[in-house]
Each structure stands twice: as structure tokens, then as C-alpha cells.
Structure 1
Amino acid sequence: MVQPNRTMDSWLLVHQLHSKTEAICKKELKKEHDLTLNEFFVLMYFYNTSDDQIVRIQDLIDFVGLSQSAMSRLITNMGSKKCGVIKEQNIHGDRRDVLLSITDSGIEKYEAALKLVERLISDIYKEYDIDHEALFDLLKPKS
């Protein structure tokens, strides 16, 4: 008889919880707010960044986990007139050095989407009987 491997079992449970949460959030964000999960994370980053803080594409790459080219495409799409939730300003006329910021429309879209995501995550945590504070304390990096 094979002995249970608690390390692998716990990792699998975390993976399943993450996969389920991500799939539900992706589906509902797209349906309710026409946002991808990566767009939501970009808006989250801007929303939680102070107005006087310079945001560069590399900051977003590190936060969201996309490649340089994927992030550049995402920022271009989010800044387009169709979407308009991010604005770009060239610094010193250099196209390579761009200051990014969230628009008022982006703030409104993020706040509405955040309510949805918080509700979805709360529902999933209830299903698994997870206390989000205890989970945060358990998963946060130790100093």
C-alpha cells in the first residue's frame, strides 16, 4: 500500500484551488466587465500605486508575470480608444520611455470588477471552508 504524501497532496490541493479560482474569475470578469484576468491585475497594480509614483512597463511585467512583448500589447490595447483605461505619456519625447497611469474610466472599471472578484473568491473560500486571513498568514513570505 502506498503511503500518503502530504507534501504532494497539499501542493495538489493548492493547485486545484488556484485553478478553480482563476477559471471562475476569468470567465466572470470577461462576461461581466469585458476584462481579462491580466487586464484586471494591471488595473489592480495602478489602483494600488500612488499618483506620484512612476509606473514603468517592467514594474507591470514583474507584477503580472507576462513577457515584455505580451505586456506591451496588453498596455497598447488597454490604452486604445476602445478600452481607454490606461493612458501613456512620452517622457522627453522618447518613445521607449513612457509614463503609464490609470484613467478615471479605469478606476471605475477596476472598482466594479473588484467587487465581483471579491465575491467570487469569498464564495469559493466558503465552499472550501477557508478563512482568508488565516490563508494569507500561512502563505505570506516569512521575513
Structure 2
Amino acid sequence: MSSQVEATNVSADATAWNRMLLVHAHVENRLSAALQRRHGLGLSEYRALSFLDQADNDELRMQELADKLGLNQSSVTRLVGRLNAAEFTYRDLCPDDKRGVYTVITGAGRDRYQQARATYDETLTAALDDIAATDPAIAAVVATLRETA
């Protein structure tokens, strides 16, 4: 009997997780397309600029930025390289630890982030509304997300 209950719980968890993944994929695709089309930014680039804009002294250590973005060191290095090439960020060495490298947002980076922010917010709301309208169970997931915000 207990294995039957566990199977039901796992199935319910798997079903809930699959709904969450569906919401995630839908929203990420919409955000990615809108940011690229309107602002020439990838989603990770936008999020990196967002974290840098909110950071103390407009800078984050590379590893800290990687952690916030959920990227490995190699991926964040390539991402920061693109942001540097666009002159949205620059690299700076830590004065106390020469091995520490910071990524710092520039004025141009802050401007691009501010321009893209309204697109991000509008697209996020529309994507969540659209996906919630497809299924009452997904609507409940979206409502829960919004309640905890």
C-alpha cells in the first residue's frame, strides 16, 4: 500500500513539474524572441545587465555573475565577452586580489537594460497570461507564482 501512495505522490510531483516546465519554456521563448527582436539582446545578456544594474558599485565577480545566471564559468566568460564587445560592460581586476575579475556595467549597458526592461516586463506578463489561459492547472501554477512575488 505504501508503494502505491509513493507512486501517486511521485506522479503528482512529476505532473506538477511538467506543468512548471511548460510554463518556463513558453515564457523563456517569448522573452528571448522579444528581447532579441526589439533590443538585440539575448535573454542571458539581459539578465546579466539586470544583475549588474542592481549590484553594489555596478559590478559583480565573474563567479558571482555565473552563479546568479546559472551558467558555468566558460559560458559566463563568453557572455561577458559579448557584453564587453558591445561596450555594455568592461572587466576590472579586484584591487585586493589580482586573481579576482569583476564585470562592471557601463552607461551604455545601463541604457540598453533600461530600454529593454519595459519589453521584458510586458512580455513576461503577456506570456504568463497566455499560458495560464490554456489550462486551469497551469492557471493555478501561474496564480501561485504571482501570489508569492
- Please state which band the TM-score falls in when normalised by the shorter chain: 0.7 to 0.9
Matched, 1:47 2:57: no
Deviation of 1:7 after TM superposition, in Å, equals 2.4
Give 1:27 deviation, angstroms.
Answer: 1.3
Aligned residues of 2:59 and 2:105 also touching (Cα < 8 A): no
Match of 1:67 in 2: 72
Which residue of 8, 16, 25 maps to 2:22? 16
The residue identity in structure 2 corresponding to 1:42 is A
The percent of aligned pairs where both chains have the same amino acid is: 21
Give the gaps of 5 or more residues in structure 2: 1-7, 134-138
**TM-score normalised per structure 1:** 0.79
Q: CA deviation at 1:105?
A: 0.8
Secondary structure (helix, strand or coil) at the match of 1:84 reads coil
Q: CA RMSD in A?
A: 2.6
**Cα-to-partner distance string for 1:77-122 (whole Å, 9 max, x where unaligned):** 2112xx1101222345x87432321111111111111111110111
Shifted more, 99-108 versus 129-138: the winner is: 129-138
Q: Which has the higher contact order (CA 8 A, sep 6+)?
A: 2
Listed one character per residue, the Cα deviations across residues 37-84 of structure 1 (whole Å, up to 9, x for unaligned) are 111111011011122x7510010110011111111121122112xx11
- Aligned amino acid, residue 64 of structure 1: L
Partner residue in 2 for 1:56: 61
Structure 1's unaligned 5+ residue stretches are none
Computing the radius of gyration over CA atoms, which structure comes out larger, 1 or 2? Answer: 2
Quick one: which amino acid aligns to residue 58 of structure 1? Q
- Which of 88, 91, 96 does residue 91 from structure 2 map onto? 88
**Which residue does 2:145 correspond to in 1?**
135
Q: TM-score under structure 2 normalisation?
A: 0.76
Question: Which whole-Å CA distance do the structure 1 matches of 2:116 and 2:98 have between them?
Answer: 31
- Matched residues, number: 133
CA pair 62-22 structure 1, distance change in 2 beyond 3 A: same
2 CA distance for matches of 1:43 and 1:54? 10
**Letter of the structure 2 residue corresponding to residue 75 of structure 1:** V
* SS class of match (1:55): strand
* CA gap 1:50/1:95 in 2 versus in 1, 3 angstroms: closer
Q: Does 1:109 align with 2:119?
A: no
